[in-house]
Structure 1
Amino acid sequence: MAAAAAGAGVPASFLSLEPQLQSTVQKKVRRARKNRVAEEELTPGVVYVGHLPRGLCEPQLRQYFEQFGTVRRLRLSRSKKTGGSKGYAFIEFESDDVAKIVADTMNNYLFSERLLKCQFMPPERVHANLFKNSERMFQKPSQPAVKRYNKVRSLVEKAKMAKRLLRKENCLRKRLAEKGIKYSFPGFAAQGLPVKRKKVKRSKAKQNVSLTSQRPEGCQEEHGHVHCNTTMRHIAYGCPRPDTIRLPGCCIQSISGQKELEAPAFQ
């Protein structure tokens, strides 16, 4: 075998066959090749392998079964939801004689505390799409619905969800009452779901009153501007300082308390 000859100088791995069994298999394969006519085309053969141990994936399976002969295609059955192995695979060899030898030799073979179940599959039992997309590497499903459900929601989205749940719960209670079923349950209302708060519109008069109540002591309003008597209150409340900034056409109260009338325009 080409694979056995290539790995003659390499130390045996845990995936290699027993030495006595490997020599027996090699003799059978050589005998099968001699019986073949040189010009005759090789007919591929498929072997079903079951009871596979966990952790045995496509690369390990190919490495293990290439000890018998050339592996053309390999398909490990996986779960579409989780991507985990289902414990069985289909392996296509270049020659059906080699596939029959593999099925006879590896059936009930103890491998990693499991008895492998191998069976040769006749061509009429092999489905046309059995090895479709077998060369592609498995990609874990993205599960967009799960991501949408588990995403972080804002307060507005939570309030909409709570409103929808309460509406459905009320419809359920009405249907039960219409059918004469007396059944009481706490439901979502007892859980205190977040509810969207309504915005309260405030008039300008109320806003002015609230601003006046927040005005610091010593500040007064003249001509639509707020003026303070001390420099620190100017800085804290954001008012213009009388000793540095002068607004045109407005009465400004200085630190000394005297009112000054500014010129109508900047100089």
Structure 2
Amino acid sequence: MDIYVGSIPFKWKEAKLVEIFGEFGEVHSAKIVIDKITRQNKGFAFVEMPNDEEAKAAIEALDGKEFDERKIIVNKSVPNNAGSLDKKKKKHYPSKPENKEWKPFKGIGKKR
């Protein structure tokens, strides 16, 4: 199960996430999102745990828990494009009448 971890302290490294989530079971991977320009962590990360029961236990225990004076947010990760095909608004284009006769453009106003 992929887990989203938000509001993490900026000094954390991936090893800290593996240590914290490792108490609940096997951690397959931990990835802190880093800003490309400042090279600072953006305050959120993703942890992957192969066992769903262990992952759910970690989510329940760690969500809202305080580390380094910050309460972290822990929940199941939802893909960025999940359901986007269903939620996208379909653009409505008026249908063209099939029998409409083409007329050349004659200009905006009459010349006097």
Deviations, residues 223-247 of structure 1 (Å, cap 9, x unaligned): xxxxxxxxxxxxxxxxxxxxxxxxx
The within-5 A match list for 1:169-248 is none
Q: Any runs of at least 4 consecutive aligned residues in structure 1 with deviations exceeding 4 A, and if so which?
A: none
RMSD of the alignment, in Å? Answer: 1.7
Listed as ranges, the gaps of 5+ residues in structure 1 are 1-44, 128-267
Percent of pairs identical after alignment? 29
**In the alignment, is the contact (CA less than 8 A) between 1:58 and 1:74 conserved in 2?**
yes
**In the alignment, is the contact (CA less than 8 A) between 2:7 and 2:71 conserved in 1?**
yes
TM-score, scaled relative to structure 2: 0.66
Aligned-partner Cα distance in 1 for 2:7–2:71: 7
Partner of 1:63: 19
Partner of 2:65: 109
Deviation at 1:88, TM superposition (A): 0.5
Deviation at 1:94, TM superposition (A): 1.5
Partner of 1:93: 49
**In the alignment, is the contact (CA less than 8 A) between 2:33 and 2:41 conserved in 1?**
yes
TM-score, scaled relative to structure 1: 0.29
Deviations, residues 73-125 of structure 1 (Å, cap 9, x unaligned): 1111000112110010000002111111111111110111111111113xxx3
**In the alignment, is the contact (CA less than 8 A) between 1:77 and 1:87 conserved in 2?**
yes
Equivalent in 25, 36, 40 of residue 84 of structure 1:
40
Listed as ranges, the gaps of 5+ residues in structure 2 are 81-112
The within-5 A match list for 1:10-89 is 45-89=1-45
SS of 2:72's partner is strand
More helix by proportion, 1 or 2? Answer: 1
Aligned-partner Cα distance in 2 for 1:68–1:126: 23
Partner of 1:118: 74
Deviations, residues 174-193 of structure 1 (Å, cap 9, x unaligned): xxxxxxxxxxxxxxxxxxxx
Kindly provide the amino acid, as one letter, of the partner of residue 50 in structure 2: E
Deviation at 1:49, TM superposition (A): 0.6
Aligned-partner Cα distance in 1 for 2:50–2:34: 24
Aligned-partner Cα distance in 2 for 1:92–1:74: 6
Kindly provide the amino acid, as one letter, of the partner of residue 65 in structure 2: Y
More strand by proportion, 1 or 2? Answer: 2
Higher relative contact order (CA 8 A, sep 6+): 2
Kindly provide the amino acid, as one letter, of the partner of residue 47 in structure 2: I
